[in-house]
Chains A and B, each alone.
Chain A
Amino acid sequence: MQVTPSYDLCLKTVLADPKSKDADLTGLALIVVDAVKVKGINTINYIKGLENSRPDLKTVLDYCADVYNTSVTVDVPLAVTALSEGNPKFGEDGIVDVTVESQACESTFGQYGQRSPMTSVNQDMEDLANVARAMIRMLL
């Protein structure tokens, strides 16, 4: 039964983690939330690499690094806490924030009249966060 968006992404993410074999719904949601964190960390590293090769984009890249850092250090831990403590709606709010942050990163390039070099990266993060959100909503 396909309930989340990006069904293939959901399946791939969940199956990549061996813990998924014995996980309940909360456990599966935590797996996807963890994947969001990992993707966030990877994205921050990617941005750092970009800053070297594209110094013209520095202002926006700095901003994007900031917001992705928030996703990793605030939004994800909030979701983990909320899921573990049985009040998942706060986790949903945290994960929704991840999508807002990645969209903000993307649109800020445009606001500076620049073309984003991170469109697919930002989209990937948004897609994954939306999968996590859908799973958290199932716990409400």
Chain B
Amino acid sequence: MHMNLLDMNTFFFRSTFPLILLTLFHNIMTSSSDLENPLAASYAPLPDGELPAGNNPTIRRPRKAALFLVVSAFLVLALVALIAGNGPVLRKELNTEVAPPSTTSTPEKVTPLSRGVEKGVSEKSFRPLLGADNSYPWSSNMLDWQRTAFHFQPKKNWMNDPNGPVFYKGWYHLFYQYHPDAPVWGKIVWGHAVSKDLINWRHLPIAMETDQWYDEQGVWTGSATILPDGQLVVLYTGSTNESVQVQNLAYPADPSDPLLIKWVKYPGNPVLVPPPGIDTKDFRDPTTAWKTPEGKWRITIGSKINKTGISLVYDTEDFKTFELLDGLLHAVPGTGMWECVDFYPVSKQNENGLDTSVDGPGVKHVVKASMDDDRNDYYAIGTYDAHKGKWTPDNPTLDVGIGLRYDYGIYYASKTFYDQSKQRRVLWSWIKETDTEASDINKGWASLMGVPRTIVLDKKTQSNIIQWPVEEINRLRTNMTVFKNIVVEAGSIVPLSIPAASQLDIVAEFEIDEKTVNRLNGDDVGYDCVKNGGAAERGALGPFGFSVLATEGLKEHTPVYFYVAKGVDGNLQTFFCADQARSSTANDVDKSIYGSIVPVLKGEKLSMRILVDHSIVESFAQEGRTCITSRVYPTKTINNNARLFLFNNATATKVTASINVWQMNSAHI
């Protein structure tokens, strides 16, 4: 059944449209009786917005009808909004035309042009949303909504790198780079918070201020080491009164205080100054220490020589005097300054984490560094030679800085610690804002920590790590809605009826149609999440996934999706991407597309998990093989306007999805 596209354009633009057309459309939907995959259990569809108490799942019966989404109109679902108020939300199939974006893709932060203009809707008719207090373009409603519910952040002002994370006397401690005076970076101190469960936090007083000449310009990043006798020591970088980067020792004033409120700086600081050949501004972020075969303690500190990123190695017996080893732990040309180096063992066989000092035949070692030049965290797996103090990557083409990233979105200055209470290695990371500083000033805060993740070696591939949100986050889950075996035809979109959509945990499995895959000829066109056209660019076998933080008419939405590509050799490659191009109608936020290829092994279904928490979306593919963190700043998709959609924008294959969606309670932060 065809509906003239222009008609849809014009009459959907204003939602005052007569009910006649509504009813007409409604009848078209319900008259189709093509049911695929009738379900074993059939539940009456529940009215939108209502869920039974407790954990009873709601099962939607898939329907098939002919629908059209005009990309330029994107207002078809305004109709859904009208229907949804009156009854069950119907599933629609939409023929997404490939409308080339009106501006070319802008991968760099430098030129975020307006992506909101589509065919047939002129800029003139797009009135920017003026908020209640008339502050253009960001109202306080929009800015307030951005604050997260279960991601660590201080009450106000600026935060960056996580520091000295540690489990001590029953408490998880998180210190962090904090600027107490403004929501932008500046003279940095160590903020401090504690938690019993890595989810709910108590903010404590500033742990260390810029009160010494050797950290007068900033108490910068550092790490904690727990000694075998239970003592805790911290090494951190100070930016001196002359902006020289030095390393300093600090320890708790009262080791019996489990909250570690007060700290003492070693009177003999600094314990390390830049060695010969190293620039005074290229010497920072000391790691947690690990034991050497000789019984000493060893740390590594990132630096650079010209454009080669390097990691210096120091041995010490008392954390007060150090010996610089002749060689480097590792170096990679062309990668620039290595910030926030991290070095830790992972078990080849077991699922538990390892204390930083563990070594042996069943162990690989990970070297990670934050690349100053491109603001991404890279890691590589390799072999550590404890006697030489050297590490060699398993795969030099995937070396530190040129190979795998922890996360393909916004994720920097990350740091792990060994949680001895649960025998796991936990990863913290700084997630910056990708809006303007002006907005940060207006909203009074900037930056989050990602949800902490456990790290283990991927036993199946042996060539990457797996990251997964710590299991404590699952305690925030409530109000589960289940969608089982939804068949999404090529070019269709399904609104998922859930109570709210700003705080979600989504777990889903997808299957594409094997027959379609087999009869397709492959090609070698190649795909790149970042450079291709995002969710609007259709391939035979993708993209398909979810649109999170979406408005009814998809005026704003953030697709997180798989894109499967079949090569001429018949092999499939799977890409996992997050597309911010239409995440907001604002023109001063980053609208890049992030993502990467994700290894999918034979017999594995495609799976993804998405944590939605207001202005942050964390996406995980294949149980944590590939991760993407995004910042999203909608102007319309706020408060009760947020929706969740399932979509399949492929041209050839249908997709079958099984989904659990939980509402996420807010944590105490």
A positions within 8 Å CB-CB of B: 59, 62-63, 66-67, 70, 74-75, 78, 81-82, 84-87, 89-90, 93-94, 96-97, 99-101, 103-104, 107-108, 110-113, 130, 133, 137, 140
Contact = CB atoms under 8 A, between A and B. Distances in A.
B243 A89 contact: no
B186 A108 contact: no
| 5 closest residue pairs by CB, A with B | A86-B281, A113-B124, A70-B438, A90-B185, A104-B588
A100 B436 contact: yes
A100 B109 contact: yes
Contact of B587 (A75, A84, A99, A108): A108
Interface in B216-257: 217-218, 220, 239, 243-245
A70 B437 contact: yes
Point out which of B187, B337, B372, B437 has the most chain A C-beta atoms below 10 A from its C-beta: B437
A40 B280 CA distance: 32
Contact of B441 (A74, A94, A100): A74
Nearest to B439: A70
A111 B437 contact: no
10 contacts: A81-B187, A85-B218, A85-B239, A86-B217, A86-B239, A87-B185, A97-B437, A104-B588, A108-B587, A111-B123
Given A99-B111, A107-B113, 16 more contacts: A62-B136, A74-B184, A74-B438, A78-B185, A81-B185, A85-B187, A85-B217, A87-B185, A89-B372, A100-B588, A104-B436, A104-B587, A110-B114, A130-B110, A133-B110, A140-B337
A3 B474 CA distance: 50
Interface string B186-204: 1100000000000000000
A113 B441 contact: no
B126 A111 contact: yes
B238 to A, nearest CB: 11
Interface in B378-416: none
Given A74-B438, A85-B243, A94 B184 contact: yes
A66 B438 contact: yes
B62 interface: no
Nearest to B130: A59
Contacts, number: 98
B88 interface: no
Given A86-B280, A104-B587, A111-B128, A81 B186 contact: yes
Given A63-B137, A78-B184, A89-B372, A97 B123 contact: no
A17 B436 CA distance: 30
A106 to B, nearest CB: 9
Interface in B563-593: 587-588
User: Per DSSP, are chain B's interface residues mostly helix, strand or loop, or mixed?
Assistant: loop
A122 B642 CA distance: 35
Contacts of A133: 110
A78 B337 CA distance: 21
Interface residues of B, number: 38
A89 B136 CA distance: 29
Point out which of B109, B112, B438 has the most chain A C-beta atoms below 10 A from its C-beta: B438
A13 B458 CA distance: 53
Nearest to B370: A89
A58 B93 CA distance: 45
Nearest to A75: B437
B605 interface: no
Contacts of A90: 185
Given A84-B243, A85-B239, A140-B337, A70 B436 contact: yes
Given A75-B437, A78-B437, A104-B587, A140 B111 contact: no
B113 A103 contact: yes
A84 B239 CA distance: 11
A110 B123 contact: yes
A113 B123 contact: yes
B445 to A, nearest CB: 14
Point out which of A107, A110, A112, A140 has the most chain B C-beta atoms below 10 A from its C-beta: A140
Contacts of A130: 110
Given A86-B280, A104-B588, A111-B126, A97 B372 contact: no
B373 interface: yes
Nearest to B585: A111
Contacts of B169: none
Contact of A89 (B124, B220, B375): B375
A100 B123 CA distance: 19
B185 A100 contact: no
Contacts of A74: 184, 437-438, 441
Contacts of A66: 438
B336 interface: yes
Given A70-B436, A89-B375, A96 B109 contact: yes
Contacts of B372: 89, 140
Contacts of B437: 70, 74-75, 78, 93-94, 97
Nearest to A91: B185
Contacts of B114: 107, 110-111
A88 B82 CA distance: 51
Contact of A99 (B110, B184, B375): B110
A96 B110 contact: yes
Contacts of A87: 185, 218, 220, 239
Contacts of A67: 436, 438
Contacts of A59: 136
Point out which of A66, A85, A93, A97 has the most chain B C-beta atoms below 10 A from its C-beta: A85
A81 B185 CA distance: 9
A93 B412 CA distance: 14
B436 A97 contact: yes
Contacts of A100: 109-110, 112, 436, 588
B185 A86 contact: no
Nearest to A69: B438
A88 to B, nearest CB: 8
B104 to A, nearest CB: 15
A40 B234 CA distance: 43
A128 to B, nearest CB: 13
Contacts of B184: 74, 78, 94
Contacts of A75: 437
Nearest to B304: A140
A114 B113 CA distance: 17
Contacts of B588: 100-101, 103-104
A137 B280 CA distance: 17
A140 B373 contact: yes
